[in-house]
Structures are given as structure tokens and as C-alpha cells.
Structure 1
């Protein structure tokens, strides 16, 4: 099992670039972060090389929305730039979303004023073109559904939505990022949905529900989820720990190592 530590959530007690060493010290080989603008990519690469780490994903969209037709050119341009960053870091997965958010988590253009058919057509058309860029580069775009409870106005909120969009586009380089914390809130029935969309499942984010702490602190049966994904479906996807530690980061990663 590939287990990745999200350093936008864990080891926040340390400077961003010092978190790579902390991930390695905890015995992990994989790390992920959020947005790349403003980050020193050469330094990230150097830290990963120094500690034998692999970046598993980062966000490949920023200020342009998948569902807004006027944002299409900017969205694709940013995807292309993100792919170049991914190549430098040898990163094989890039996260995309239905709507653009800035680095404070606020929508830059939520598309709420658009007709439903416009949002749907824009999402499919732009995702198709983005997938072509990913195919050429040998990376995979993972489309994440997000809850609209903590993020009011979010458009793609279920694996039913993102999974079917990926199936319609039909590219091996466009899959879903299944965030357990988000999906438990929005649709539940996780085992059935993981089975239903196993063919387009590309990445998993881990966080218990309702508080988004470590596995075992909430209501989710992670043993069953792991059994379905790893054994029944036979998928070798990354499990990214994007969660808010209930305890210290050091104690948290000790628990995550045994996940």
C-alpha cells in the first residue's frame, strides 16, 4: 500500500520545506502538497531526493474553473504548466476540481450563475482536453468531489458525478480522487460506490468522519474499505492522509504507519 502524507495538514508545526524531512523520519516514502505557485520547486525536488521521497500529487488547477466555459483556456494552460512541474518532481497524479479556489480556500469563480447544461458541457469538454494533455505527458488527472457543507456552492459533490464524468470522457489518464471524509458526508454507501467506480478510481484521501481526524477516531470502517479496494478490486492506488491530527503530528504519523 502506498501511503502518502499531506504536508498541508500534517507537520504544520514546521516550516513547509522542513516537513519533507519529518515525513521521511516517520518512515514514509510518499508525500503530497497543495498548490505549487509560490513554492520553490527546485528545493522541493532537492528535499525529496535527499530523503528518498516521491511526490504523489498536488493541485493542478488554481484560479480557473472546470465548469466555466470562459475559463477553459486558462484552465488548460495551468494544467500544462502543472504537468511541467510534475515532470520535475516525477509526480504521476495531479488533482483537479469542478471549481477554482485560491490558496485561502475561497472560490475565484464558482459558476453558480450558469445554466446546468453549460456547466455540464464545459466540464466534459474541458476535462476531455485536459485528459489529452495528461495522456501525452504520462500523468493521471484525479478529479475530486468535495462536500458542499464545509464548502457551500461546490458543484461536484459525489463520486456518482465525478465517476460518471470520467467514464464519459473515457481516458485512462482521467480518474477520480475518492476523498473518504467528503464522501461519507455527501453520499455514504462507500463500499458500493467504490465497487461501482473501481474502474475509474485513481487515488484515495483518508480522513475519518465527522471530525476528519485519524482513522479510528470516528465512524468509518477503514478495514472494510481497505479490503474492498486492495483485495477485492485489486487496486494499487495511493492512500493520501489528508486529515487534521487530533494529536501531535509525530503521534499521528505513528498511527498512520500502522494503517
Structure 2
């Protein structure tokens, strides 16, 4: 049976962030993920986890200047020192919060002519991140993101991400398989899951095309969940969607799945 983690960056928007932990626990979630923890003291976040019996599944390494529309710096030439400092900071948080996965965002590619240069930086930075993370018992994740939601993002396809991991050659570098992004860019999700399963480190879900609840839109998530079970996935599935209405009411999809 798949295990689901509430993405607190998107779910329960009516609550202040720190109050979303209790809201998720009240709805039966056993784990949470979110984009960034760095606005809070790690001990404060750990207390929220402990108070609500929650597991920290995942968060992202620092992405650069998010408010200035930076979307990661792992592939950006000239930002190597900042990236490496950010990885070390993320691992410090992970040691307190207890998660064993950290997502590293690639960043934007301003011009396709620069891809080779950016890829060289990306490979070097990922090798550094994986080496540092291995000593801490953490897996580094990279994620293909669709260019409709995030124009010019460096990494877009599952095969591209898997090839990057193979080039780095670290056993603790894996791909974050976001069903929403993959469906928009490529489709044929079950075939991709089967093909790449050994290299997948985390799975996320949302309805397509509007990124609402997974039961809204074109994807048959019951079929996907069954396949994920058949493949033997034991990690968390992150619910990274924007609720169409009230988060708790919108979890009827989850209650129905768990009642099967």
C-alpha cells in the first residue's frame, strides 16, 4: 500500500506554515514534505514533527534567490561555492529533522547554446553533493520539471535525469519522479516507472492539467498506485498539489483509496 506525505508548501494554505503539521496529522498523514525549511530553526520544525507523530520525508536544498525567480543553482556557472554551502546547510537540517532525501534543483538555462557548460557544472556539483550526503546517510534527488510551469528549467525529461545520474555514478543520487511534470512533458507514465524504477528515489503526485487533487484530471491514479505497489516502491509519495477547495474535504480521493 503506497504511503503518502502531505506537501505543506501547497496543502492547508488557510493555516500558517507551522500549524500545517497538526492539520496534516489530523487528516491521517504520517509524513510531510515541503520546499524549504530555512525560514525556521530546525529544532522548532523537529518539535512540530514530534508533537504530531510525523516523519520528515523530503525538502529542497537552498535554491538561490527564490523571490527573484531563481529556481535552483546546481547548474549555474559561477555559483559553485554558494551551491556547496547550501548543500552543507541542507544536510545540517536533515540531521536534525531525520529525513534521508534532499532535492537539489538544477536551475534555469538562459540559452540552449549554454547547455554544455551548464551540464559540466551540474555534474561536478552533483558529485560533490552526493559525496557529502553519503557521509550523512542522505540520498540526493534531481527532478525533471515541465517548462509550462517553469520555463527554461534545465532538466525536463526522465531519460535526461537518469542519464545525468549515470554520468555522476553515485549510488545515492536518484531521480524524483513527479507524475504531474512527467505527464505534461512525456506521458506514458507507467512505462517510464517500469523502465527507470531502479533509479527513482521519490515520487510525487498531482492532477493534470490543473495541479489539483489527483482524482481531478486526465490521470488514472488508482492504476498508477497499483503499478507503484507492483514495482515494490516503499518510499513516500508526496502530495504536491494545489487544493481546489478545502484541503481536508479534497482528501476524499485518499480516503477512498485507503478503504479499498
SS of the residue corresponding to residue 182 of structure 2 reads helix
Q: 1:94 aligns with which of 86, 98, 102?
A: 102
Q: How many residues align?
A: 248
Secondary structure of 2:174's aligned partner:
strand
The more displaced of 81-90 and 170-179 is: 170-179
Structure 1 SS opposite 2:50: helix
SS at match of 2:78: helix
Distance 1:163 1:72 in 2: 22
TM-score, scaled to structure 1: 0.91
Alignment correspondent of 1:29: 30
**1:30, 1:54 within 8 Å by CA — same for their partners in 2?**
yes
1:49-68 C-alpha deviation (Å, 9 max, x unpaired): 11111110111132151112
Post-superposition offset of 1:97: 1.5
Deviations 1:20-41 (A, max 9, x none): 1111111111011111221232
Q: Deviations over 1:122-152 (max 9, x none)?
A: 1112111111111111011111111111211
The answer to whether the Cα contact below 8 Å between 1:141 and 1:174 also exists between their aligned partners in 2 is yes
Q: Tell me if the contact between 2:63 and 2:105 (Cα under 8 Å) persists in the aligned partners.
A: no
SS of residue in 2 equivalent to 1:115: helix
1:248 Cα offset (Å): 0.8
Please report the TM-score for the alignment, with normalisation by the length of structure 2: 0.91
**Aligned pairs for 1:166-205 within 5 A:** 166-205=165-204
2:147 paired residue number: 148
Partner secondary structure for residue 157 of structure 1: coil
The 1:139/1:40 distance shift into structure 2, 3 A limit, reads: same
1:43 & 1:61 partners in 2: Cα distance?
Answer: 18
C-alpha spacing 1:143/1:258, structure 2 compared with 1 (3 Å): farther
TM-aligned CA deviation for residue 257 of structure 1: 4.0
Answering whether residue 13 of structure 2 is matched by residue 12 of structure 1, we say yes
Moved over 4 A (4+): none
How far off is 1:221 after superposition? 1.7
Q: Which residue is equivalent to 2:54? A: 53
Paired residues of 1:83 and 1:137 also in contact (CA < 8 A): yes
